[in-house]
Structure 1
Amino acid sequence: MNQPEALYRLQEVELEIMRTQQRLKQIADTLANDETVQQAQNQVTAAQNQLNPLKSRLRELEHEIQTNESKTRTTEQQLYSGTVKNTKEMQDMQQEIEALKRWHGELETSLLETMMSTEEAETVLQQKEADLSAVLDTRGDEHRVLLQEQAELQAQLSAAKERRQQALKEVNPENLEIYVTMKPRKNYQPVAIMQGNTCSVCGVAQNVAIEREVRRGTQLVNCSNCQRILVTI
């Protein structure tokens, strides 16, 4: 991929990000105007924020218990295999096993408590989601559609940001600096497709020399009129 093409791909994904962010703001503004919906949505978010750390803690505890059990088995095998003859070393290993088993009991207790807290948090979240659904029912289908669109756009935005990071890797620093400098002056569209021999943005036909250099794609070539970087796709 040559540099004009790389800049054009970067521009396209950045324009997509801008459009998505603008639409998300419109949706957020619309939803924010309904305080009842916003309150219910905030309660769902709060319930999710309460539940997520508990789920993470559950996974951590399960991993710690597995590690503890593995370490206990390994130490017991070493102790009872007959390979350890030193009395002091055997006593140390026995003490380590006892400590591991005590810690296992504490981990199991923490796991049980966290499971109970998680179940309670899940129940709260389900109730808050039901409350939000009830509020949305009273507001008709409009907000439901908006929330669905919002979720889809947020996923699209995340994916677009990842694509932007990949696109940035294809542009060398010098050309990126030129592109960034031009963006605010060119309405965030500093790169234009040359269709035939014509700039697709300003509509001005380019002379033969410019057209030839654009098609070669070995350097950045500007439109003779609007000064945008031209590219053939």
Structure 2
Amino acid sequence: MFCFYVVTWNVTCTYSQFLARKNPSCCVSLSSFYNETITSCPTCACGCQNKKNCVKSDSKFLNTPGAHTPKRDNDPLLQCTHHMCPIRVHWHVKLNYKDYWRVKIAITNFNYRMNYTLWTLAVQHPNLNNITQVFSFDYRPILPYVSINDTGMFYGMKFYNDLLMEAGPSGNVQSEVLLRKDQDTFTFKQGWAFPRKVYFNGEECMLPPPDTYPFLPNAAPVKLLNLTSLIFFLILLLVA
């Protein structure tokens, strides 16, 4: 007598950036109108294994024939930077109005051998449900949950900026975004004005540590008031 056993199983495949790529392929830098400090991308955000083969922006090698030709193995030719990322996304809090605030988004390509065709930028931010106008990009909200609208996708306008050119003077695209304030939750404090997560072409970009974000300056009138009170108190002591 022979017995046969049949075993079945289900396999679920998911994408993991940490398994597919050792290092991120993009990073995020931050700045704001209320602070002179620019929070740059973390050092070696995308790994520094290409540091020996990077080239400076004024290198004569870039003028040699074939320097910009893509390789079969997609080996990048990166501009020398402290972060060594092919892509940098810069988020700048530009203006503050009574009922609105304005952000400038700039995407820069540091790879001399890569043009990004039909690029996409996904951003997670709690105020994206109040977008009023996007000036130089196309925009579409992403609604994984009907009740939550905090994620949106930016992409280039056809025949205008849907091609992100290789590194160099033309290797960047930028737009400004106007957002309406939610008076119940709006604040510039504690990094609220900056994105929670950023993805370029579906891959998550490395953000700076939260404690390095541009912070609001202390209120000058409060300091002045305290100083005036102290001087007045000292005068009273001298008179007495």
- With structure 1 as the length reference, what TM-score do the two structures score? 0.21
Structure with higher helix content: 1
- With structure 2 as the length reference, what TM-score do the two structures score? 0.21
Structure with higher strand content: 2
